[in-house]
Chain A
């Protein structure tokens, strides 16, 4: 079992919709959780990090963490075509395989 699991997608949403990306992890002692965005042919860039249970909002992005369920998610509100990318969940230094998001105009 991989330590960090993500659905590879693609997740297709229309422009303006909410995109919901999910991630589960196996190490119950994990303390820090990250979401990186990676455009095709580019390097990953950090968009959100969360350390405490609950929600953390930054602009159109909301990260949600539930340590009891070992679950972290990323919500993207008002999705734009420019949000089309692969979203990587990371638990400290361990990455999931990423979820490809496609936002159609």
Chain B
């Protein structure tokens, strides 16, 4: 199916465990992003990637690791989950910024993560 998909849809884990959230897109978009959404904070950028093997930190990167070995995949790993990382995580993608019209983001359906 075309589009951007995230898995799992829901995840419950315990503090200290490692957890990986998956993101896959079929548009061959060069840019991919991870956001977290929390009440009172809105969407905050965790990490982004401009292309395979190129990643950079966003506003709130601490405690997270990303990789991008293939253009279509951009997994987000919480190396040692903490309760403060309980949130809804959204993956997004967009095409290359050859024009301003390409800057719009396409979001996945989100992963609701609870850290107990």
Interface residues of A (CB under 8 A from B): 31-32, 34, 36, 42-46, 49, 51, 88, 90, 92-98
Interface residues of B (CB under 8 A from A): 33, 35, 40-45, 48, 58-59, 90, 100-101, 103-110
Name which of A34, A42, A43 has the most chain B CB atoms within 10 A of its CB.
A43
Known: A31-B100, A93-B105. 19 other contacts (CB 8 A): A32-B103, A34-B103, A42-B110, A43-B107, A43-B109, A44-B90, A46-B104, A46-B105, A46-B106, A49-B100, A49-B101, A51-B100, A88-B42, A88-B43, A92-B103, A95-B42, A95-B43, A95-B44, A97-B42
Q: Do most interface residues of chain A lie in helix, strand or loop, or is the interface mixed?
A: loop
Known contacts A45-B107, A97-B40; A32 and B90 CB within 8 A of each other: no
CB-CB under 8 A from A96, the residues of chain B are: 42
Q: Do most interface residues of chain B lie in helix, strand or loop, or is the interface mixed?
A: mixed
Task: With both chains docked as a complex, state the minimum distance between the C-beta of A81 and any C-beta of chain B, in angstroms.
Answer: 23
CA distance A45 to B110 in the complex (A): 12
CB-CB under 8 A from A95, the residues of chain B are: 35, 42-44
